[in-house]
Amino acid sequence: MAQDGQRVAIVTGGARGIGAATSRRLAADGMAVAVLDLDAATCAGTVAEITGAGGRALAVGADVSKTDQVRAAAERIAAELGPPSVLVNNAGIIRDNLLFKMTDEDFDAVLGVHLRGAFLMTRACQQFMVDAKYGRIVNLSSSSALGNRGQVNYSAAKAGMQGFTKTLAIELGQFGITANAVAPGFIATDMTAATAARIGMGFEDFQKAAASQIPVRRVGQPEDVANVISFFASEAAGFVSGQVIYVAGGPLC
Ligand code: NAP
């Protein structure tokens, strides 16, 4: 915990989409937030929203798939905001293609950001949490973990996030650290807009088509996911670990 008793959270991929909504939500919950993304400049908007509302936030540039950058980022955050005790592994990319057309590079890039990125970030932060005997790790999985055409790389990474989460829960529980995963369905962000563009559909039509297949008859918003992350990241969630919650407007299993 930082000197003033405020908890410090890191949200990767915090510049936009679900990561930006999560950064704002954790700040509203009272945490100081390190908004981490590939380019620190892209975090400025999220940071300004938090500080404008009276919170504390720091823009941090790092590629989560690069060991040295992750180590340096964790140390800088600990020095400037305080030791991190909440980590949200949210950074992500898609490189969709059918198996027979998927390149080595697209497979490795997706596994590298989601799985290796979450591994590197968690390894870099765990010592701060162990020292504090307190930690909350929240990993972003996806409904694609259950399988999705054109996403052998992404679905493998997102299923992997669930196994990663459960193992963290087992290894780190004795130190007061929980690990849980959130698995969103369709959330309206740049990521789903890119999918619409790839298949040649307007984003509005794409969202309407998706909503018609979702039991609550709407697509998700970044705040729908941030609400669940907020619970997992809270002190109140201390007896919930190794779980996966689908945030998809209906049942998935
Ligand atoms: P998004 O709008 O595309 O935002 C992803 C963010 O991650 C971007 O700011 C991106 O930075 C950043 N990022 C990418 N590679 C990075 C790296 N190597 N190091 C640090 N930051 C990196 O995505 P989103 O829709 O909010 O998704 C957030 C998470 O939720 C992802 O893990 C995604 O897989 C998951 N998810 C999303 C949905 C959905 O429907 N949207 C559904 C299920 C799961 P740049 O802008 O610089 O590229």
pTM (2 d.p.):
0.98
Q: Is 92 in the pocket of ligand 1 (CB under 6 A)?
A: yes
Assigned domain for 235 exists = yes
Residue 57: beta bridge partners?
33
State in Å: Cα 78 to ligand 1 middle.
24
Domain carrying residue 70: 8-185+220-247
Among candidate residues 154, 164, 206, 232, the one labeled active-site is 154
- Rounded Cα gap, residues 135 and 137, in angstroms: 7
Q: Which atom of ligand 1 is nearest to the CA of 65?
A: 18
Q: Which atom of ligand 1 is nearest to the CA of 113?
A: 18
Assigned domain for 206 exists = no
Q: What is the CATH number of the domain that holds 91?
A: 3.40.50.720
Nearest residue (CA) to ligand 1, atom 8:
13
- Rounded Cα gap, residues 247 and 253, in angstroms: 11
Show pLDDT as tens, one digit a residue, over the chain (253 residues).
565 789 999 999 999 999 999 999 999 999 999 999 999 999 999 999 999 999 999 999 999 999 999 999 999 999 999 999 999 999 999 999 999 999 999 999 999 999 999 999 999 999 999 999 999 999 999 999 999 999 999 999 999 999 999 999 999 999 999 999 999 999 999 999 999 999 999 999 999 999 999 999 999 999 999 999 999 999 999 999 999 999 999 997 5
154 is catalytic: yes
Assigned domain for 198 exists = no
Q: Which atom of ligand 1 is nearest to the CA of 117?
A: 18
The pair of structure tokens assigned to 122 is 């968690």
Cα–chain-centroid distance for residue 8?
16
Q: Structural domain tally of the chain?
A: 1
Assigned domain for 162 exists = yes
Q: Is 192 in the pocket of ligand 1 (CB under 6 A)?
A: yes
Assigned domain for 172 exists = yes
Q: Is 140 in the pocket of ligand 1 (CB under 6 A)?
A: yes
Residue with tokens 């002190």: 235
Assigned domain for 141 exists = yes
The sign of the CA dihedral 212, 213, 218, 222 is: negative
Instruction: Give the residue, out of 191, 207, 218, with the most ligand 1 atoms within 8 A of its beta carbon, to mutate for a pocket test.
Output: 191
- Rounded Cα gap, residues 151 and 148, in angstroms: 6
The runs of H, that is alpha helices, within the chain are: 17-28, 44-52, 67-80, 104-111, 117-132, 152-172, 190-198, 203-212, 222-232
